[in-house]
Amino acid sequence: MPNATIIALIPLLPLAGFLLLGLFGRKIFKNSSGLIGTALLLTSTILALYTAYEYFFVYGKVDGVYQQFIPLKLTWLEFSPGLSIDMGMAVDSISVMMLVVVTFISLMVHIYSLGYMKGEERFPTYYAFLGLFTFSMLGLVLSCNIFQIYIFWELVGVSSFLLIGFYYDKPSAVAASKKAFIVTRFADLGFLIGILILSNSSGTLDFNTMIATLTSPDSDAVKTATASSFLGASALTWGAALVFIGGAGKSAMFPLHIWLPDAMEGPTPVSALIHAATMVVAGVYLVARLFPVFAITVPAVLEIVGWVGAVSAIIAAIIACTQTDIKRVLAYSTMSQIGYMMFALGVSKYGGEGGLGYTASMFHLFTHAMFKALLFLGAGAVIHYVHSNDMNDMGGLRKYLPVTHITFLIACLAIAGVPPFAGFFSKEEILLAAYQNNMAIYWIALITSGLTAFYMFRLYFSIFWNKQPEVHGDKHGEGGFVMMLPLVLLAVGAAAAGFIPFGEFVSTDGKALESHFHLRFSVAPVALGLAGILTAMWLYKKQNEKPARLASSLGSMYKAAYNKFYIDEIYLFITRKVLFNLIGKPAAWFDRNVVDGLINLTGNTTQSVSEGIKKIQSGKVQQYAIYFLSGVIILAVLFIYVWR
Amino acid sequence: MNEFFTLMKSELVVTAIIFLLLFIKIGKGMKNESLLSLVQVLLLLNFIAGFFFNKTGNLFGDMFYTTPLIAFQKNILSLAVYLISLLCSDWLKKTGHLPEFFMLMLSALLGMFLMISSSNLLIFYLSLELATIPVAAMANFDLEKKRSSEGAMKMILSSAFSSGILLFGISLLYGATGTISFPEITAQLDGSSVQILAFIFIVTAFAFKLSIVPFHLWTADVYEGSPMAVTSFLSVVSKGSVAFIFITVLYKMFQPMQDMWYTLLVILAIATMVTGNLFALRQQNIKRFLAFSSIAQVGFILVGISSNDYMGITAVVYFVLIYVFSNLAAFGVATVIAERTGKENIDDYKGLYKTNPFLSWILALALFSLAGVPPTAGFFGKLFLLTAGGAKAAYWFILVAALNMIISLYYYLRVVRAMFMDKNDNPVEPIKVSPVVKLALIICGAGIIMIGLLSWIFEYIKTLH
Amino acid sequence: MMEPGLYHILFISAALFFIGVYGFLTRRNLITMLMSIELILNSVNLNFIAFNKYLWPGKLDGLFFTLFIIAIAAAEAAVAIAIIINLYRSHQSIDVENAEDLKY
Amino acid sequence: MITGSTILFYLLAALTLTCGLLSVSTRQIFRAAIYLLFSLIGIAGIYFWLQYEFIAAVQIVVYVGGIVVLIIFSIFLTQQAGEKLPKQKPGRKIFSALAVFCGFALTMVQVYKHEFDFDKTMVSPTMSNIGQNMLSTKEGGYALPFEVISMLLLAAMIGCIVIALRSKPETK
Amino acid sequence: MNLLLLIGAPLLTAVAVLFSRNKQQVKWISLLGSIIQIILAFALLFAFRQERAENNSAQMLFEQNHKLFDSLNINFHFGVDGISVAMILLTSLVVVAGVLVSWNIEKMTKEFYFLLLLLGLGAYGFFISLDLFILFFFLEISVIPKYLLIGIWGSGKKEYSANKLALMLMGGSALILVGMLGLYFTAGHSFDILALSKIDIPVYIQNLLFPLLFVGFGVFTALFPLHTWVPDGHSSAPTAGSMFLAGISMKLGGYGCLRIATYLLPEGAKEYADIIIILSAIAILYGAFATMMQKDLKYINAYSSVSHVGFSLLGIGMLTQTAITGALMQMVSHGLMTALFFAVIGMVYDRTHTRMVGEMGGLMKVMPFISTVFFIVGLCSLGLPGFSGFVAEMTVFMGSWENADAFHRIATIAAAMSIVVTAVYILRATGQTMMGPIKNESHLQLKDAAWNEKLAAIILVAGILAIGIAPGWLNDLLRPAAEEIMNRIDGK
């Protein structure tokens, strides 16, 4: 059985770090805060690895099936008996896998930041926020209750907001953080309503009970929920779709991806942690958590998941080919890769061999975390060196940044799916799953994988080859041991993670899944990948006019891709013109002038009536007598003739 | 004969004071200050005496009757007169006709006592005149002021006109029933049209004295023109006494016509509250302002009266008691300021709090009480009136009354705002309030706060039936 | 011609009453207004006497009422005239329309 | 049957109403007072006709001898002789007339509709009757009103003295 | 525990303030008094839990009944259930915070504190009253202090705002008054809430009286469209005044809507529930959109109060146990949150002398403490988990969703949409004031919070966190009371 204390400590240690550094950091731990944070996280990581070992090799497997354990569950808020928000820890293969990923990447980022963020004025705050994020993310992956996941979901959102806006005096950072928060918040609205629908249909918020209720097709809950329909879809369909919207927002799926590229305004290690490896895959994780419901009860929604993933993957890949800000390229690449994971889930089925997509998705999540974090940290080192994000300011850096160069290359090869790097294995499985279930998505995925190789190597060559570097004034090298260590460790991961027999550990039903390796099948993607690499090499290895000519020959298509297909502009139009001008302003005007106006009108009318009738009090005593007499006569007539 | 003294003791005491003053006046005369102190002491004694030997009984056949409740009502009036004598001592000291003033005021008070106790239309009419004519003369006591005589003229003419109509009504009622005694009339009422006509004519006299719309038009002019002491007397004592007898007349004499007079009261109450409030909204002169506000207050009294049960009586008596304190406090402060600075306009009160915090707090308390805002007693008074009025389940009527409280709050707050919030380059200079006036103001302030919370007062009134 | 009776007297008194009222409403001179009041009171007196005579001769309520009204009328007239004279002194006029300072 | 008594009544009625009407309509203030006087005398005549001699006498003594004289004195005090009274606005006159007519009509209709129960005995009060009642404190006695009216007269007197005899130097 | 202490303590403090000699004395006496109130409130909480733990299942605990106007059946009838206890806690926290943030009031200090304490007194009395009349008395007590606080110590169009507030609240009271009298007569001359809750009131009377009472109390709690006093009143009031207004006074209305209107007139509530839901859903969304366009920080919070308070009314309109619990939680949560928000705005205003969002920027740099609190309250306002707002709103949503028909669901979704809009305006406000570059050079000289301000903020933040992190205790407090109300609504 899992040890509740140890598992609880994994998220709580970063939380302790947050509280410690947040409350006292600026006064007491001014200089040691980085070390404190890192030490706490190191402990967490060790505990996470220990837990993983225990789970996968000691107690997790019962009768050949990986079980879910809930070593701790506290009622946090009870709505009615059976319907409550619990704070608990679900220990199963994906959560343990995520524990490892999150703590490991986070640890890498912590270490890396010791060097990267050195000398920042708000250094302790930075580590506090990192702690908060790590805590929230770990809480998210451990959630055993859909509301619990929502709570941590929001918390990671806000930590992401805080970290993107870390350089709060930079207006662009402030804007980006706002955008990230609001867009994901919008998606969370869907999530929330989805939770309401699902919980109402199943009568519970607990994941296990909910899945059990909703996946047994003859249960009353499912019958009533599928019977009632709204706008042509059953309640359950709506619920699952809305939950997916939440996931899509967090995972930057099209069309809710617009916040992700802007989020690169944050410090680069943060991008590595949050916007590459961990938080953005929360959406995938969420769908995976509820996978039985999607797969068994509402396959239609799963199909949507698949298509959204596929479309995001290719669109992001196309855009990534045109961007010049290296972090933005990586951001679109992230989006593209998450698209992969998403459609892998979308093409999966529940149980047995059909569940290959699920396993592949998780596998890709795992490997992606390694190489994408590596890419970001590498990019961070580059930016650290040249003080610019723009590809055009770089070139020929391989001599100045040898370690970065090598690790970056490894990551690029991994993401491009070149064997034997990690990306190759996970991508193969995804493509296989797609091939088995949905040919259209398979073709999209295939093209995307070619594009991926192309833009990654475009990036690689632009940074490390291409033109000769301008000589920078202060040469502070690659940033020392603390920045190199994570690169190397991650490079090892990116290179070797593919050899983990992932299907053994993670599958839809907990039973081991044979990993199939079809050489015949691998030819196409690898060939496409190599083609992409070669094209990139041809275009970008040396500084030349070819890319520009190519761009101009593609004309408006290139322009559209360069401008991210104008999706930002559409959003801007909706928010500025519709929300602010068509709803906000009229609402404010209406309130001041109509609602308040009516209230004031009442007052003013009273005043003017008062002014109007003052003539009655004319000061003429005879007039008074006339009123008197008239009053008498009228009353007399009324009471004698009318109300008798 | 013993009974005669106990039952009529209030009247006898007042008469005795009148004659004492008369002898002083005819004799050597006294200095204003010492005379005033003497009168104040006598009035206090009068007030205290009111608490003893209260019995129920008839005198002079059916003409005079009294009960503990009536004695209590008389006591409220005595108290009000006593307070007026304290509050207006600044003005009284200056006036050249102090004994005459008090003789007239006490005659009027005597008239009111008799009016409350009357059980006969003749004695009622006579005491009504006794309560009116001297007041008209008093209204003219600022002999040098044009406005004072104008006010007095308006009062005497209007009241003569009103009593003409009252008398015509009484004569018709006499013709239709053959009697002028209340209980006998009650037995004879059959609701014929002549009786209704007579009833309307008679009610207008009450309406006139109580300043019920549309018979109220004299009120503001007379209040503004008269000396402050007379205005206070008119607005508090005169109104209170007429309200008391109005209840008796309606509840006893016109009981058979209760459906009709209920409708009448509803109409009049609404008209009175609305008109009073609307006029009060834009008044500048504090006396005129209080005049219209008191008109609106009468509207609330009518709401209470409309209940036609003990609750109505109790609520009205209780309200008048509170009203005495509240209104007199307001008039008291206005008097002090007007006497010392000659300022009577609300705009002159701007920034008063800075220079005269004591006066400001008292006035604010009084106004809050008039507006019916807790914890002042006015809240309870007004609420009980509405509670009484609600007994007939005409909730829309109560709602109209309650909504009128909003308007009234607005204009009371206007004064509060002037005192506390508005800035003024030329505020009323700090006034040293004489100890007697201060004492009276403190009594009023304490009354405003305590009467509501000391619930036994209400319960005591309730037990007096 | 009919035998004069109660209704005739009531007609006279009512007519006189409203003549008085009319005078009160229209005369601008304060003293004439006061005179109108006297007419009103007299009409009421006539009413009382007539009712007492024709309907309720058993008791003297009407008669006494009349008696006291006459007395009151005298007192009222006296005070009113005093006030009017004082007004005349300060306004130099007894036109009711000259005493309209207090209004609104 | 036309008797002398009937003719007398109509004459008195005509005198009262005509003089009353003239009194409120003439623009000579002194004449108005005289018309009022005759109107009041007419009413006294009606009292006589009704055999209420005591009241008739009081009427003549108090009104003719007292109030009208008071009014005439005050006219002398406040009015230059021969000056005509100012005209009232026609609008006011018309409206007043209308209101008064309505009131009159209303009253007459109600009174004529009403069936008074007549007492056929038609006794007239005797002097001793009046006198005994006036000062009796028992049932049907009028001692209390008598006292009240005395207080009222006292108060009125004081009021009149203060107001009419205002002594200027004493006040300031 | 003797509930009279809760009235006695503020009353004595107020009197002591009245007789104190100088400003220092006034302040320290007020502080002492308000700390005593906090202690009493917590003592009450623990005593209450103790009683409940000992299975004292009476609806009201610590009941006291003192005769007042016996013949009218008006009594000082006091007692508390979970709702009252929660509200009293809220009041005590806001009072002490209000006293602390007003530490530097120079103008008429004594009067200021006196009125402030009087306001608190009114609230305590209101929440413990079990007699409609007394409840109304305490409700009304607070109107005039509000008026004076705004009018004398306020800023901007203070006279206008003060007038508007007083008159609109008075209008609400007028409606309450009529409804109250209606109940009194229907129930055979009783103002006693417990007695009234036992009788069956004819449906047509309920339908007549319910709108009066609900709208009447609704005015106090900014029921759309009678909310317009809120923006003006709050923005003109001095800091502590705004805190009291939004933190306590608006809760009086919500409490009344629930305890009086809904509880006593269940059939009426059912009849009008749909209208309440529509109005409150409009208020939530419309308030949020209107907030988006505001430029003055106080207006922002005032309009957002309209929006947030809409959740309480929505919860009440939904008529399910969970929704009502949520509504109550929202009251407590909003009380703390908005008081804190106003406190922070006050601190910012005291330093920068402006409340216009556009004139600030980068304040995080010069006043990190204030900015952090600003941030916290903003996050609470937008319903972030870990803060009280989240708990309350989610409970309301969960409860609302129990109604299975499309109407209730659409209303719930509409209300839920506001959480996005809220995020928009909160982030705009924080982004423009606390973050970004410093726009005004003179702001560089500003100082961070003083001890009193820190203490005030910490007290309120602690309250917010106590609910946000561990909502169970509040839930335990409120849910049984909500159940009691639901039992009557369901006719059990």
Q: What is the domain range of residue C51?
A: 28-92
Per-residue pLDDT, D172: 35
Measured between alpha carbons, how far is E373 from A597 in angstroms, rounded to an integer?
35
Across the A/D interface, how many CB contacts are shorter than 8 Å? 18
Chain A residues with CB inside 8 Å of E232's CB? 596
Report if residue C10 sits inside a domain.
no
Q: Three-class SS of residue A492?
A: helix
How near does any CA of chain B get to the CA of A632, in Å? 7
Minimum-distance CB partner of D103 among A622, A633, A640: A633
Query: Would the pLDDT of B129 be above 90?
Result: yes
Instruction: Extract the residue ranges of chain A whose pLDDT is less than 50.
Output: none
Chain D from 134 to 153: CB within 8 A of any C CB: 134, 140, 142, 145, 149, 152-153
Per-residue pLDDT, A476: 60
How near does any CA of chain B get to the CA of D92, in Å? 17
Token code pair at residue A611 = 């002014």
pLDDT tens digit string along D117-147?
787 776 677 777 777 777 777 777 788 888 8
Measured between alpha carbons, how far is B270 from D99 in angstroms, rounded to an integer?
24
Q: Tell me the average pLDDT across B335-359.
A: 88
The residue among B146, B217, B295 with the most chain A CBs within 10 A of its CB, best to mutate, is: B217
Chain A residues with CB inside 8 Å of C101's CB? 619
- For residue D110, the chain A residue with the least C-alpha distance is A640
- DSSP letter (8 states) at residue B254: T
Helical ranges in A117-230 per DSSP H: 123-142, 146-164, 171-202, 207-215, 220-227
Per-residue pLDDT, D171: 41
Q: Pick from B453, B463, B464: which is nearest to B74 by CA?
A: B464
Q: Tell me the average pLDDT across D52-56.
A: 88
Query: Would the pLDDT of B171 be above 50?
Result: yes
Q: Name the helix (H) or strand (E) containing A406.
A: helix A402-416
E21 dihedral zone (left: phi>0; alpha: psi -120 to 50; beta): alpha
Per the CB < 8 A criterion, the answer to whether E64 and E79 are in contact is yes
Q: Pick from B228, B149, A627: which is nearest to C102 by CA?
A: B149
- Check CB contact under 8 Å for E177 and B403: no
pLDDT tens digit string along E358-415?
888 888 888 888 888 988 899 898 888 888 888 898 899 888 888 888 888 889 988 8
pLDDT grade for C1, boundaries at 50, 70 and 90: low
- For residue C81, the chain B residue with the least C-alpha distance is B153
Measured between alpha carbons, how far is B189 from B183 in angstroms, rounded to an integer?
10
Minimum-distance CB partner of D158 among B104, B110, B194: B104
- Check CB contact under 8 Å for B162 and A628: yes
Q: Pick from E489, E161, E99: which is nearest to E299 by CA?
A: E161
Structural Rg of chain B based on CA atoms: 21
- Check CB contact under 8 Å for D99 and A622: no
β-bridge pairing A83-91 and A69-80: antiparallel
Helical ranges in D26-126 per DSSP H: 29-49, 53-58, 68-78, 90-113
- DSSP letter (8 states) at residue E13: H
Domain coordinates of chain D in residue numbers? 1-86, 125-167
E144 touches chain B (CB under 8 A): yes
Chain C residues with CB inside 8 Å of A617's CB? 103-104
The residue among D9, D18, D34, D46 with the most chain C CBs within 10 A of its CB, best to mutate, is: D46
What is the DSSP code string of E179-216? HHHHHHHHTTS--BHHHHTTS---HHHHHHHHHHHHHH
The residue among D94, D102, D109, D113 with the most chain A CBs within 10 A of its CB, best to mutate, is: D102
Record the pTM: 0.90
Chain B residues with CB inside 8 Å of C96's CB? 153
Q: Which fold has domain D1-86?
A: Four Helix Bundle (Hemerythrin (Met), subunit A) (1.20.120)
How near does any CA of chain C get to the CA of A618, in Å? 5
Q: Which chains touch C (3 or more CB pairs under 8 A)?
A: A, B, D
CB-based touch E/C (3+ pairs, under 8 A): no
Listed range (A441-455, E284-298, E432-446) with the worst mean pLDDT: E432-446
- For residue E135, the chain B residue with the least C-alpha distance is B374
pLDDT tens digit string along D79-106?
765 677 788 888 888 999 999 999 999 9
Q: Tell me the average pLDDT across E272-297.
A: 89
A603 Cβ contact list (under 8 Å, min separation 6): B410, E167
- For residue C33, the chain D residue with the least C-alpha distance is D24
Asked whether the bond before B427 is cis by omega within 30 degrees of 0, the reply is no
Minimum-distance CB partner of E423 among A185, A193, A585: A185
Chain D from 90 to 149: CB within 8 A of any B CB: 106-107, 110-111, 113-114, 116, 137-145, 148-149
Q: Pick from E233, E189, E224, E217: which is nearest to E75 by CA?
A: E189
Per the CB < 8 A criterion, the answer to whether A210 and A202 are in contact is yes
Measured between alpha carbons, how far is B232 from B327 in angstroms, rounded to an integer?
8
- For residue A621, the chain C residue with the least C-alpha distance is C96
C12 touches chain B (CB under 8 A): no
Query: Would the pLDDT of C43 be above 90?
Result: yes
- Check CB contact under 8 Å for A76 and E471: yes
pLDDT tens digit string along E460-476?
999 999 988 888 888 88
Report if residue C15 sits inside a domain.
no
CB-based touch B/C (3+ pairs, under 8 A): yes
Q: Name the helix (H) or strand (E) containing E118.
A: helix E109-128
D48 touches chain C (CB under 8 A): no
pLDDT tens digit string along D3-25?
888 889 999 999 999 999 999 98
Helical ranges in B282-394 per DSSP H: 286-305, 310-341, 352-355, 357-371, 377-390
Token code pair at residue A596 = 């308040």
D23 Cβ contact list (under 8 Å, min separation 6): C23, C35, C39, D32, D33, D35, D36, D39
Task: Annotate E202-218 with b (16+ C-beta within 10 A) or e (fewer).
Answer: eeebbbbbbbbbbbbbb
Per the CB < 8 A criterion, the answer to whether B354 and E120 are in contact is no
β-bridge pairing E74-80 and E61-69: antiparallel
Per-residue pLDDT, B325: 93
Q: Three-class SS of residue B304?
A: helix
Q: Which residue has the higher pLDDT, A60 or B406?
A: B406
- Check CB contact under 8 Å for A620 and C26: no
The residue among E384, E402, E418, E477 with the most chain A CBs within 10 A of its CB, best to mutate, is: E384
Q: Tell me the average pLDDT across E122-139.
A: 91
Per-residue pLDDT, D169: 41
Domain coordinates of chain B in residue numbers? 2-463
Q: Pick from E297, E313, E308, E382: which is nearest to A186 by CA?
A: E382
E203 touches chain B (CB under 8 A): no
- For residue A622, the chain C residue with the least C-alpha distance is C25
| Alpha carbon of residue B232 to chain centroid | 8
- For residue D166, the chain C residue with the least C-alpha distance is C86
What's the number of domains chain C is made of? 1
Q: Three-class SS of residue C29?
A: strand
Per-residue pLDDT, A513: 74
Q: Name the helix (H) or strand (E) containing E254.
A: helix E250-256
How near does any CA of chain B get to the CA of C63, in Å? 11
- Check CB contact under 8 Å for E423 and A182: yes
- Check CB contact under 8 Å for D92 and A629: no
What is the DSSP code string of A585-604? HHHHHIIIIIIHHHHHHHHH
Measured between alpha carbons, how far is D45 from D57 in angstroms, rounded to an integer?
10
Measured between alpha carbons, how far is A629 from A635 in angstroms, rounded to an integer?
10
Per-residue pLDDT, A472: 57
Whole-number average pLDDT of chain B: 89
Per-residue pLDDT, B199: 92
How near does any CA of chain D get to the CA of B360, in Å? 30
Measured between alpha carbons, how far is A111 from A129 in angstroms, rounded to an integer?
15
Query: Would the pLDDT of B52 be above 70?
Result: yes
Measured between alpha carbons, how far is E203 from E457 in angstroms, rounded to an integer?
47
Do you know the residue count of chain C? 104
pLDDT grade for B330, boundaries at 50, 70 and 90: very high
Q: Pick from D159, D87, C97, D153: which is nearest to B156 by CA?
A: D159
Token code pair at residue E95 = 């009072």
Q: Which chains touch E (3 or more CB pairs under 8 A)?
A: A, B
Chain A residues with CB inside 8 Å of B158's CB? 621, 624-625, 628
- Check CB contact under 8 Å for D151 and B107: yes
Measured between alpha carbons, how far is A54 from A71 in angstroms, rounded to an integer?
14
Report if residue C99 sits inside a domain.
no
Q: Three-class SS of residue A345?
A: helix
Chain E residues with CB inside 8 Å of B383's CB? 133, 136, 177
- Check CB contact under 8 Å for C102 and A619: yes
Minimum-distance CB partner of C103 among A617, A626, A629: A617
Q: Tell me the average pLDDT across B166-178.
A: 91
Report if residue C4 sits inside a domain.
no
